[in-house]
Structure 1
């Protein structure tokens, strides 16, 4: 699979349509954020810095798209932060289904896979505090933190 700048469709003899991977990232990001139990998306440090400097929400944050040019299909990787107490397998399945259905219906692309990576948990009483695996292990070893 190759990352390409956009996906091109030859619709008719009148021309082609290009779909930028950023469009698919936004569709997948919005679909994911609509799933109950998703607290947020996790992106790169650079993406978070850009978002905080510009004040604009990055709707494609935490989403990576890879295209297979011949198959007109893609694989979508999503990194999410979930709310504490949700059923992780059920929530992940809902994310996969919603993203697949949204991308396929809006773009005509076939979504081969939606890979969900849980990168953190937000506690209900501490909405601002995200706990990742390293923080969780440190807290278990030293409960006074």
Structure 2
């Protein structure tokens, strides 16, 4: 005996998916920021969505991420790890199927520069 009941519709805003994706990307070692903006701006709500562009179609999403990494980080490894981490985290938290995570490295900074700008 099965009953088909629906409780309504669930919609997740692109901004929410962007925050989830950016937070996951920042957990990867060597990734210090996203977008081409200042590091301080990254931690506000607007900053979290500037480095992640989301294209949704039904229950499938494609994410385009712009990240900045520390000098000395193996860029290809960091980008692959960002792809895996973002895909897994977004799928787990939202139920969306992530078809692709496209990562663009838009900058490299020295670790001391990143810390100095965060303190400002």
Q: Residues 12, 120 of structure 1: CA spacing in aligned structure 2 closer, same or farther, 3 A cutoff?
A: farther
Runs of at least 5 residues in structure 2 that lack an aligned partner in the other structure:
none
Provide the rounded CA distance (Å) in 2 between the counterparts of 1:114 and 1:123: 26
Q: Residues 126, 15 of structure 1: CA spacing in aligned structure 2 closer, same or farther, 3 A cutoff?
A: closer
- SS of 1:17's equivalent in the other structure is coil
Runs of at least 5 residues in structure 1 that lack an aligned partner in the other structure:
1-10, 130-145
Match of 2:95 in 1: 108
Aligned residues: 110
**Higher CA-based Rg:** 1
TM-score (norm 2): 0.81
Is 1:67 the counterpart of 2:61? The answer is no
TM-score (norm 1): 0.68
Is 1:19 the counterpart of 2:20? The answer is no
Is 1:121 the counterpart of 2:108? The answer is yes
Conserved in 2, the CA contact under 8 Å of 1:29 and 1:61? Answer: no
Match of 1:35 in 2: 28
Higher RCO structure, 1 or 2 (CA under 8 Å, sep 6+): 2
Provide the rounded CA distance (Å) in 1 between the counterparts of 2:56 and 2:21: 14
Q: Residues 20, 126 of structure 1: CA spacing in aligned structure 2 closer, same or farther, 3 A cutoff?
A: closer
- Cα RMSD, aligned residues only: 2.4
Match of 1:94 in 2: 81
